[in-house]
């Protein structure tokens, strides 16, 4: 038997409703904030991620799905959304529109890493990006959108951690401090971090190795080396979050896993999955648009992993209350004429916006009613020769057993069903 590739999952029909619930919540919140959906290719030129994500990151060094096409071009399945949106922002001249440009996306991403709970090789992200606005108000708006999204999913125990990782000016001094600190541990660092020590020592702080993580714990903190401009920007972001009633903790260890971040970075974390786990993260990037060939433009955004959100929802909520979509009415039949009549009636009910079902497998009447129960149908009707001749049948409320007589036409049935709700 051919099975699915390691690190991928089938989303079965009973799970799809939960995915749709998260996606529709995301779209509704984005609409309120003025973020418009964008759809980009599943694969891009490899150079986009090498330049945009950063060649010292784990993503580029270890995790990308890269291949050559038949023309010898190096292509990569996208491991994240931001670099792709920056490319589209530049290529489609979105900067020529009134700024800021507010974009949202729901995409599949691909990273070759060890599969585990909430972390797959094919995974899905909801995210937003805002281009062309550098004010602290933008940072606060983006964080508040993520906050509202998670709140409307009814998640509990979610905490917001924020930090500032400065700009190229203050990063330069900080990197020298880091390099000096980590030099003392060269003999203990992993091979990847030894390379980072020369190119980008800040990446060592994000290393997953137990030894490197332990060494990094006592490393200097970026927040202590912010220039005046970065310090004032961060203080304003904090003030605005407080003004909106959004609680946060300043966590100086947040650096995020990608090279393009500057100034504000943030994570929403949950303890629902055991150890504190990030369900949504993002930050500001001031040089990425220019790095990828565009005119200088600030950007800020976040991404939330859908698989991880689903795990949290399943831990915290009765999933059936989120995913329930039972039929409004089930029409059981006796005989070919009744079955044919019912199919036409069900088509007309569906056309009128009613979720109606019937048996398609030739079950007995008793088995049809059991099937209606399994579908959790709200109402049921049995149609046979007598009902056809009288154009009338008994409508049964499947919850309380109440029965009322009804004509077998769409408007009458629709009226009864709406009253029953």
Q: Does residue 311 share a domain with residue 337?
A: no
Rounded CA-CA distance 17/224 in Å is 46
How is the beta sheet containing 74-77 ordered, strand by strand?
A: 43-45, 74-77, 65-68
Q: Is 34 helix (H, G, I), strand (E, B) or coil?
A: coil
Q: Does residue 23 share a domain with residue 110?
A: yes
CATH code, domain with 352: 3.40.50.800
Q: Does residue 382 share a domain with residue 415?
A: yes
Domain coverage including residue 385 = 326-420
- pTM, two decimals, is 0.86
pLDDT digits 0-9 by tens, 316-329: 887 766 666 789 99
Q: Is residue 93 part of a domain?
A: yes
Q: Is residue 193 part of a domain?
A: no
> How distant, in Å, are the alpha carbons of 303, 305, 420 from that of 279?
9, 6, 40
Measure CA 200 to chain center.
29
Supply 255's token pair.
Answer: 């650096």
Residue 115 has pLDDT above 60, yes or no: yes
320, 336, 363 - which closes a domain: 320
For the chain, give percent helix, strand, coil, nearest 5: 45, 20, 35
320, 346, 365 - which closes a domain: 320
Q: Is residue 255 part of a domain?
A: yes
Q: Please name every residue paired with 44 in a beta bridge, in sequence order, or none if there are none.
A: 76
Residue 275 has pLDDT above 70, yes or no: no
Q: How many residues does the chain have?
A: 421
> How distant, in Å, are the alpha carbons of 138, 164, 171, 243 from that of 237?
9, 10, 19, 10
Rounded CA-CA distance 160/278 in Å is 10
pLDDT of residue 197: 86
Number of other CB atoms surrounding residue 239 within 10 Å: 11
Q: Does residue 85 share a domain with residue 26?
A: yes
Q: Is residue 207 part of a domain?
A: no
Rounded CA-CA distance 111/121 in Å is 5
How is the beta sheet containing 403-407 ordered, strand by strand?
A: 356-358, 329-333, 379-383, 392-397, 403-407
Q: Does residue 301 share a domain with residue 413?
A: no
Q: Is residue 173 part of a domain?
A: no
281, 301, 320 - which closes a domain: 320
Supply 186's token pair.
Answer: 């060269």
Q: How many structural domains is the chain composed of?
A: 2
Q: Which residue has the tokens 């940072």?
A: 139
Q: Does residue 375 share a domain with residue 259?
A: no
Q: Does residue 341 share a domain with residue 274?
A: no
Q: Is residue 114 part of a domain?
A: yes
Q: Is residue 5 part of a domain?
A: no
Q: Is residue 4 part of a domain?
A: no
In order, the DSSP letters of 58-120 are HIIIII-EEEE-TTS-EEEE-S-SHHHHHHHHHHTTGGGSSSPEEEEEEEEEE--S--BTTB-
Q: Does residue 252 share a domain with residue 369?
A: no
Q: Does residue 267 share a domain with residue 138?
A: yes
Mean pLDDT (whole number) for 398-412: 94
Q: Does residue 130 share a domain with residue 75?
A: yes
Confidence label for 259 from pLDDT (cuts 50, 70 and 90): low
CATH code, domain with 299: 3.30.930.10
pLDDT digits 0-9 by tens, 187-239: 889 988 888 888 888 878 878 788 998 898 888 888 999 999 999 999 999 99
Number of other CB atoms surrounding residue 253 within 10 Å: 15
pLDDT digits 0-9 by tens, 74-110: 999 999 999 999 999 999 999 999 999 999 999 999 9
Q: Does residue 409 share a domain with residue 388?
A: yes
Tell whether omega for the bond before 289 is within 30 degrees of 0, i.e. cis.
Answer: no
Mean pLDDT of the chain: 91
Q: Are 324 and 305 in contact (CB under 8 A)?
A: no
Q: Are 252 and 219 in contact (CB under 8 A)?
A: no
Q: Does residue 378 share a domain with residue 236?
A: no
């Amino acid at each position: 038997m051919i099975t699915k590739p390691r690190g991928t999952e089938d989303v079965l029909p009973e799970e799809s409703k939960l995915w749709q619930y998260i996606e529709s919540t995301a779209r509704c919140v984005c609409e309120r904030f003025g973020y418009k959906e964008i759809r980009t290719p599943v694969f891009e030129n490899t150079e986009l991620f090498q330049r945009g994500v950063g060649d010292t990151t784990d993503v580029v060094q270890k995790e990308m799905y890269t291949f050559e096409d038949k023309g010898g071009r190096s292509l990569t399945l996208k491991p994240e959304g931001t670099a792709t949106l920056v490319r589209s922002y530049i290529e489609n001249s979105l900067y020529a529109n009134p700024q800021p440009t507010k974009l949202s996306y729901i995409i599949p991403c691909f990273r070759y890493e060890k599969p585990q709970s909430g972390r797959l090789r094919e995974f899905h992200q909801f995210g937003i990006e805002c281009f062309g606005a550098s004010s602290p108000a933008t940072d606060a708006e983006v964080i508040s959108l993520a906050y509202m999204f998670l709140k409307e999913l009814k998640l509990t125990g979610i905490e917001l951690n924020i930090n500032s990782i400065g700009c190229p000016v203050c990063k330069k001094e900080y990197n020298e401090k880091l390099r000096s600190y980590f030099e003392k541990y060269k003999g203990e660092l992993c091979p990847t971090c030894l390379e980072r020590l020369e190119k980008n020592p800040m990446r060592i702080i994000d290393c997953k190795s137990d030894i490197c993580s332990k060494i990094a714990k006592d490393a200097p903190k970026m927040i202590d080396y912010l220039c005046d401009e970065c310090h004032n920007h961060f203080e304003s972001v904090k003030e605005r979050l407080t003004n909106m009633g959004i609680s946060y903790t300043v966590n100086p260890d947040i650096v995020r896993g990608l090279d393009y971040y500057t100034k504000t970075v943030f994570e929403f974390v949950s303890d629902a999955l055991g150890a504190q786990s990030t369900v949504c993260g993002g930050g500001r990037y001031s040089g990425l648009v220019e790095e990828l060939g565009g005119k200088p433009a600030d950007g800020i955004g976040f991404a939330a992993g859908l698989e991880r959100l689903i795990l949290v929802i399943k831990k915290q909520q009765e999933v059936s209350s989120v995913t329930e979509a039972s039929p409004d009415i089930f029409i059981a039949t006796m005989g070919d004429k009744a079955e044919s009549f019912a199919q036409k009636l069900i088509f007309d009910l569906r056309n009128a916006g009613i979720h109606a079902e019937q048996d398609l497998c030739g079950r007995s009447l008793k088995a049809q009613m059991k099937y209606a129960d399994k579908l959790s149908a709200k109402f049921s009707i049995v149609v046979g020769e007598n009902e056809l001749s009288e154009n009338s049948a008994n409508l049964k409320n499947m919850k309380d057993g109440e029965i009322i007589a009804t004509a077998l036409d769409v408007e009458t049935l629709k009226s009864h069903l709406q009253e029953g709700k």
